[in-house]
């Protein structure tokens, strides 16, 4: 818990002078709003005298205090917000940046729905903790201290009764709050499960429609609501326990304090004015004490939410940039895998075994093999989504581990097997890799990717929104857009991952012609199942079970009685 609040206040203390001014105004506000019952005593004691001037002076002072309270209240919240609002922004940006900096494996092991729920609850908790701890708790504590000071001045016995009752209430509240927080944790888990089902459905909306599974998805969500409702009832009932027990104890405590004070009045140890003051203090404080219990509960709840929010900072980046990296302006494109071995931390062992491979500058290399043979793993290591367990990978003689990941990946243009697009315009998605909005350049790249004619037929042209994850485009259109994006980024090294798998034969030929033109004199890595797309490659690497088993040109491999020859026959013989 200490680490959570340390991180929380690091964001707030960044705005140090505003926080100090906020605290000064808050303390002043808390003291002034706590002393109202003192004026009740002054009025009661002075009323019998009939001294109008004195009564007017008391009224004027009381009104002045209330005006000052209003001013301090406005200033307190203004300076509080001047700390909270930018700090909340900083926290959200820091969490987002940390997620961006984490390894590829992090995103694979996290549910999008759960992560979104965690971030939303954490951001809400950031705001609510400020109001619960920095404002409400401080005001309640100062209110109690002011009351104790007045009570000690009047009668120590009354102060002791109130202190003892407070201690007993806090003991009961502690256990009730623990029950409530545990119920909150269980409910959060079920809420995340609900979010997972909904987000997963929305992401795969097209698949649901294709297989007419709307009713099944509805039933799945309905089933998920059964444990959700159970935990929600448990969570709601934990509040009722607090209401009943703490509310009853509070009323008993208030009665005892007033009873002791009443005895003092009868014994003439207290004046009527002092008793009215005690009545005013107690009747105003115990509702605040009840509020204190709920603020403690809220703090516990917010602590659960913000702890999960800040937990992202506890994840270590496995693939780290070194402190003094090499800086390369461009890459010639000579790539060497030197005895590389690798196993996925979350998957099977020996994904790659003893990989030794030299790719010359400007050479085109194609990887083929069965699914799971290690083809895509090669590119993931090259882009440093993971680091090898042993061996090294160099570009132009420089170990890629000595480059920053950003610098390394800036040399590469990737056309993935399943392009994921931003929910933005076609122009934005094409220009994304190059960071450009120049429409002339975007159109030129689209023409090379055989995409321009299709875009020209759209009513909004290049301003057409593609939808979430590119849902408004077909598979082939998304692939051609990804190719245009790669062409426009003008990379030194091109990675082509099954990028024509969803194209018809005519489109594939056009894309292949554009691709080979765009990749001329550039180091090119192709991963393909369609062997017809790689016959022009300078070298073809056949992989099986994480190892290189065959190497050669298309013609050389056809002369062998190996896997490539077998793959070719399967794809070409009718």
- Is residue 366 a part of any domain in this protein? yes
- Greatest distance between any 2 Cα atoms in the chain: 120
Mean pLDDT of the chain: 83
CATH value at residue 20? 1.20.1560.10
Domain end among 314, 345, 378: 314
CATH value at residue 410? 3.40.50.300
Q: Domain total for the chain?
A: 2
Check whether residue 442 and residue 339 sit in a common domain: yes
22 confidence band (pLDDT: 50, 70, 90): very high
235-247: average pLDDT: 81
pLDDT tens figures, 281-309: 777 777 777 777 777 777 877 887 888 88
Q: Please tell me the predicted confidence (pLDDT) of residue 110.
A: 65
Q: Please tell me the predicted confidence (pLDDT) of residue 43.
A: 80
- Is residue 491 a part of any domain in this protein? yes
H or E segment to which residue 356 belongs = strand 352-359
Q: Please tell me the predicted confidence (pLDDT) of residue 450.
A: 80
Residue with the larger pLDDT of the pair 499 and 451: 451
112 confidence band (pLDDT: 50, 70, 90): low
Q: Please tell me the predicted confidence (pLDDT) of residue 18.
A: 93
**In the predicted structure, residue 262 carries a pLDDT above the cut 80:** no
Check whether residue 45 and residue 172 sit in a common domain: yes
For 78, other C-beta atoms within 10 Å of its C-beta total 13
pLDDT tens figures, 432-458: 888 878 889 899 888 888 888 888 888
147 contacts 267 by C-beta, under 8 angstroms:
no
87 confidence band (pLDDT: 50, 70, 90): very high
Most confident listed range (54-68, 135-149, 215-229, 392-406): 392-406
Residue with the larger pLDDT of the pair 317 and 84: 84
118-137: average pLDDT: 87
Check whether residue 128 and residue 177 sit in a common domain: yes
Q: Please tell me the predicted confidence (pLDDT) of residue 391.
A: 92
- Is residue 325 a part of any domain in this protein? no
Check whether residue 271 and residue 341 sit in a common domain: no
388-404: average pLDDT: 92
Q: Please tell me the predicted confidence (pLDDT) of residue 73.
A: 92
Sheet hosting strand 547-552, strand order edge to edge: 412-415, 493-497, 523-527, 364-369, 539-544, 547-552
Please state, in angstroms and rounded to a whole number, the distance separating the CA atoms of residues 74 and 130.
16
pLDDT tens figures, 345-380: 766 668 899 999 999 998 989 999 888 888 888 998
- Is residue 488 a part of any domain in this protein? yes
Stated pTM of the model: 0.70
Check whether residue 367 and residue 255 sit in a common domain: no
Domain end among 314, 346, 381: 314
Q: Please tell me the predicted confidence (pLDDT) of residue 501.
A: 58
Check whether residue 89 and residue 219 sit in a common domain: yes
- Is residue 326 a part of any domain in this protein? no
**In the predicted structure, residue 510 carries a pLDDT above the cut 70:** no
- Is residue 321 a part of any domain in this protein? no
Check whether residue 173 and residue 271 sit in a common domain: yes
Q: What is the residue range of 554's domain?
A: 335-572
Q: Please tell me the predicted confidence (pLDDT) of residue 348.
A: 61
382 contacts 335 by C-beta, under 8 angstroms:
yes
115 confidence band (pLDDT: 50, 70, 90): confident
Q: Please tell me the predicted confidence (pLDDT) of residue 256.
A: 77
Check whether residue 235 and residue 345 sit in a common domain: no
- Is residue 330 a part of any domain in this protein? no
Check whether residue 217 and residue 172 sit in a common domain: yes
50-75: average pLDDT: 87
Check whether residue 307 and residue 348 sit in a common domain: no
Q: Please tell me the predicted confidence (pLDDT) of residue 349.
A: 67
Q: Please tell me the predicted confidence (pLDDT) of residue 107.
A: 66
- Is residue 115 a part of any domain in this protein? yes
Distances (CA, A) of 64 to 39, 58, 60, 213, 280: 12, 10, 6, 69, 19
Check whether residue 259 and residue 164 sit in a common domain: yes
Please state, in angstroms and rounded to a whole number, the distance separating the CA atoms of residues 527 and 417.
9
14 contacts 87 by C-beta, under 8 angstroms:
yes
Q: Please tell me the predicted confidence (pLDDT) of residue 541.
A: 92
Domain end among 314, 347, 371: 314
402 confidence band (pLDDT: 50, 70, 90): very high
Check whether residue 308 and residue 339 sit in a common domain: no
């Amino acid at each position: 818990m200490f680490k959570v609040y340390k991180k929380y206040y690091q964001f707030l203390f960044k705005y140090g002078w505003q926080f100090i001014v906020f605290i000064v105004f808050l303390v002043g506000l808390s003291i002034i709003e706590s002393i109202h019952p003192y004026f009740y005593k002054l009025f009661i004691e002075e009323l019998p005298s009939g001294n109008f001037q004195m009564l007017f002076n008391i009224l004027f002072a009381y009104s002045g205090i209330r005006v000052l309270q209003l001013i301090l209240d406005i200033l307190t919240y203004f300076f509080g917000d001047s700390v909270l609002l930018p700090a909340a922004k900083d926290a959200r940006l820091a969490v987002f940046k940390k997620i961006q900096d984490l390894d590829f494996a992090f995103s694979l092991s996290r549910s999008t729905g759960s992560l979104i729920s965690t971030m939303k609850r954490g951001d809400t908790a950031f705001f609510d903790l400020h109001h619960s701890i920095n404002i409400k708790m401080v005001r309640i504590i100062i209110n109690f201290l002011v009351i104790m000071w007045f009570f000690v001045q009047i009668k120590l016995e009354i102060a002791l009764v109130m202190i003892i009752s407070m201690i007993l209430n806090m003991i009961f509240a502690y256990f009730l709050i623990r029950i409530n927080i545990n119920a909150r944790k269980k409910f959060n888990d079920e809420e995340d499960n609900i979010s997972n089902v909904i987000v997963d459905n929305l992401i795969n909306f097209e698949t649901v429609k294709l297989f007419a599974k709307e009713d099944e998805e509805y039933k799945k969500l309905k089933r998920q609501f059964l444990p959700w409702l159970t935990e929600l009832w448990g969570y709601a009932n934990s509040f009722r326990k607090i209401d009943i027990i703490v509310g009853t104890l509070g009323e008993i405590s208030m009665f005892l304090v007033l009873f002791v004070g009443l005895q003092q009045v009868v014994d003439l140890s207290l004046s009527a004015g002092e008793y009215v003051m005690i009545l005013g203090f107690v009747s105003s404080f115990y509702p605040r004490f009840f509020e204190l219990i709920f603020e403690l509960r809220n703090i516990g709840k917010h602590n659960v939410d913000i702890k999960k929010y800040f937990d992202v900072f506890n994840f270590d980046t496995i693939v780290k940039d070194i402190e003094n990296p090499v800086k390369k302006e461009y890459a010639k494109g000579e790539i060497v895998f030197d005895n590389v071995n690798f196993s996925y931390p979350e998957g099977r062992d020996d994904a790659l075994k003893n990989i030794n491979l030299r790719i010359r500058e400007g050479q085109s290399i194609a990887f083929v093999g069965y699914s799971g043979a290690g083809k895509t793993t090669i590119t993931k290591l090259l882009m440093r989504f993971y680091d090898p367990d042993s061996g090294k990978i160099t570009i132009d003689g420089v170990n890629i581990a000595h480059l920053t990941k950003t610098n390394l990946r800036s040399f590469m243009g990737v056309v993935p097997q399943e392009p994921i697009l931003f929910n933005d315009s076609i122009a934005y998605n094409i220009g994304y890799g190059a960071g450009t909005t120049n429409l002339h350049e975007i159109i030129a790249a689209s023409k090379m990717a055989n995409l321009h004619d299709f875009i020209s037929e759209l009513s909004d042209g290049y301003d057409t929104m593609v939808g979430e994850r590119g849902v408004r485009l077909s598979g082939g259109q998304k692939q051609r857009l990804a190719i245009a994006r790669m062409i426009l980024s003008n990379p030194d090294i091109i990675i082509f991952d099954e990028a024509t798998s969803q194209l018809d034969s005519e489109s594939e030929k056009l894309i292949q012609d554009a691709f080979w033109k765009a990749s001329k004199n550039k180091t090119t890595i192709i991963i393909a199942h369609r062997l017809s797309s790689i016959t022009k490659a300078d070298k073809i690497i056949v992989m099986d079970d994480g190892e290189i088993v065959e190497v050669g040109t298309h013609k050389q491999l056809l002369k062998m009685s190996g896997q490539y020859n077998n793959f070719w026959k399967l794809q070409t013989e009718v």
